[in-house]
Amino acid sequence: MKKIYFTPGPTELYPTVAAHIENALHEDICSISHRSSRFKDIFKATRDNLKILLEIPDNFHIFFIGSATEAMERIIENCVQHKSSHLVNGAFSERFYKTALDLKKEPQKIMASFGNGFYEHEIEIDADSELICVTQNETSTGVALSPDFISRMKRRHPEKLIAVDVVSSVPYAALDYKFLDCAFFSVQKGFGLPAGLGVIIANERCIQKAQSLQEKDFDIGSYHNFPSLLKQAQKCQTSETPNVLAIYLLGKVCADYLQSGLSEIRKQTEIKSVALYEFFENHPQYKPFVKEESFRSHTIIVSETISESSSMISRAAKQGFIIGSGYGNYKNRHIRIANFPVHSLDNVKSLLVYLR
Ligand SMILES: *Cc1c(COP(=O)(O)O)cnc(C)c1O
């Protein structure tokens, strides 16, 4: 039986990926030199497709790294001398905050409880903070912060840098890059690709901040510090031998998404998420975990379960529906369902028929 992975990540592979991998093998993508003009063409194609797809302005650079977790470390190293401020409402925003602690910064932690988001008027960013870190879609709880919320934070704090984790909402989230300085993601979620590639999207201000820290003799890391990443990216290259196949595949799936059209992808995402939330609202065995509707993620849908979720998850697996468990302490009390472009309306409908 063909299984469908509704897990938050890794998730189901996007349907075109198998053919793209076959083409890549046919074209010897895994053997070409990362200094060759063919690699530079791949780098450029992926970068350009991403910029078009996500409407990224010209003053932003695209860097290819290992993972989203790496992105957190690189951003703190390169954008913070002493203090970053973190909106923490789940496991991934907590990881971003802990990264700053590990790097010996003095981060500010602004907390909301699991399953909650943030209200602007409740947030006080310390005056000496250099960087505001926001997890736009908290995968552990299914809470999303609106793109507008992020733009308003930037308007309130134009002098500070803002970094946004969009790992589990890209490409759905309609972020306005004029009102942020840095965003990052990895590819095994919304792009339906094998794991092993992270992407940082950073503007000139982030580069300048890194350069000023470097001039002051702060440790901003080595081959993946922003000035090195930029120097290589300007040549359409990377310092190390990169995951060429992953960069190639990301460019191809971006092209597929451009073909479908992002507005259509967004529309479909909302149709599917409305169906999922409606089902969980009305079924006696389930209840959406996020109570405040405006905080409900369209890409990660989390439901409480009346009985232990582990047994229903293994029953569903026997029918080919692979569903995410709850995160951390909620492992056995929640299910998490990814609603990415790879998950068709038909997939979601058959899942709901099964759950009903
Ligand atoms: C999955 C995830 C990460 C970590 O991604 P990796 O590629 O495993 O490093 C970070 N933030 C969020 C919101 C995530 O969902």
pLDDT of residue 245 exceeding 90: yes
Best mutation site among 11, 168, 200, 339 for ligand 1, i.e. most ligand atoms within 8 A of its Cβ?
A: 168
Q: What is the pLDDT of residue 1?
A: 81
Long-range CB contact pairs, 282-287, < 8 A, 24+:
283/355, 283/356, 286/355
**In the structure, what pLDDT confidence band is assigned to residue 305 with cuts at 50, 70 and 90?**
very high
% the chain with pLDDT above 90? 99
Q: Report the nearest atom of ligand 1 relative to the CA of 72.
A: 10
| Residue 190 CA, ligand 1 centroid: distance in Å | 11
Q: pLDDT tens digits for 317-339?
A: 999 999 999 999 999 999 999 99
Domains of the chain by start residue, with CATH:
4-12+261-355 (3.90.1150.10), 17-258 (3.40.640.10)
Q: Report the nearest atom of ligand 1 relative to the CA of 166.
A: 13
| Residue 15 CA, ligand 1 centroid: distance in Å | 22
pTM score over 0.95: yes
Q: Report the nearest atom of ligand 1 relative to the CA of 138.
A: 13
| Residue 165 CA, ligand 1 centroid: distance in Å | 8
Ligand 1 pocket, CB under 6 A:
9, 67-69, 92, 135, 139, 165, 167-168, 186, 198
Q: pLDDT tens digits for 103-149?
A: 999 999 999 999 999 999 999 999 999 999 999 999 999 999 999 99
| Residue 9 CA, ligand 1 centroid: distance in Å | 8
| Residue 10 CA, ligand 1 centroid: distance in Å | 10
Q: Report the nearest atom of ligand 1 relative to the CA of 137.
A: 13
| Residue 187 CA, ligand 1 centroid: distance in Å | 9
Rg of the chain's alpha carbons, rounded to an integer? 20
**Single-letter code of the amino acid located at 8:** P
Residue nearest to atom 3 of ligand 1 (CA): 68
